[in-house]
Amino acid sequence: MGRVPHRCPKCGQTTGCVHDYRVQKIKHTQIFSRRTAIFYRKRRYVCKNKDCGKRFYEENSIVERYQRQSVEFNQSIGIELIHGKNFKDVASRFGTSPTTVMRHFDKISSSMLKETNQLPEVIAIDEYKGDAGGEKYQTVIADPIHRKPLEILIDRKKDTLVAYLKEHGANIKLVYGTYITT
Ligand SMILES: [Zn+2]
């Protein structure tokens, strides 16, 4: 990252004084099928205010606080979760554990997905072997235009899908998918 003035989080005074650097290893996405890592030389600023002297890390777009994976890595896992076969498969491709992948799955399904109230005009429906909640297969509903997962249903039963679409699918005009319903 370039050196830019930062506001002290404690007293609000602007500072450009560097205190020190720390190298952080961050898991990144695969490049040409090889696992990659970013070695990020993280800068720490020090507040010039004599009464404060707070030391703090620079803002960055590479890694979120308290995370060891890059933002890009987390986003790719989210996308893979929609296209991948199962947690184990996604985990081995990302060089991480199925537990980590499951955590991402939970995060997507609980935060981002709950926002969906009415589905868009075009949706894609697919099944997903997630082994979640005692069910082997889940149903993934996605927005194929914006490439965003919208909802994950607990199983792939017709009744579940019909009930869900009745409640949220009033705007739907086109459905893509391998899911067969009668
Ligand atoms: Zn300060």
Q: What is the pLDDT of residue 116?
A: 61
**Separation of CA 16 and ligand 1 centre (Å):** 12
**Separation of CA 17 and ligand 1 centre (Å):** 11
**Separation of CA 55 and ligand 1 centre (Å):** 8
**Separation of CA 7 and ligand 1 centre (Å):** 8
Flag whether the pTM goes above 0.75: no
CA angle, corner 108, sides to 168 and 77, nearest 5?
Answer: 130
Residues present in the chain in total: 182
Identity of the amino acid at 65: R
Q: What is the pLDDT of residue 182?
A: 40
Neighbours of ion ligand 1 (CB under 5 A): 8, 10-11, 47, 49, 52, 54
- Of the chain, the end-to-end C-alpha distance in Å amounts to 55
State how far the alpha carbon of 111 is from the alpha carbons of 4, 100, 108, 117, in Å: 33, 16, 6, 13
H or E segment and range at residue 23: strand 18-31
Q: What is the pLDDT of residue 152?
A: 81
Nearest residue to 48 (alpha-carbon basis) of 21, 12, 20, 22: 12
**Separation of CA 43 and ligand 1 centre (Å):** 16
Bridge partners, 43 (sequence order): 21
Q: What is the pLDDT of residue 115?
A: 55
Q: What is the pLDDT of residue 26?
A: 83
* Per-10-residue mean pLDDT, the chain, length 182: 92 95 82 77 94 93 72 74 74 83 74 68 84 78 82 86 90 78 44
Q: What is the pLDDT of residue 178?
A: 62
Q: Are 72 and 63 in contact (CB under 8 A)?
A: no
Q: What is the pLDDT of residue 110?
A: 63
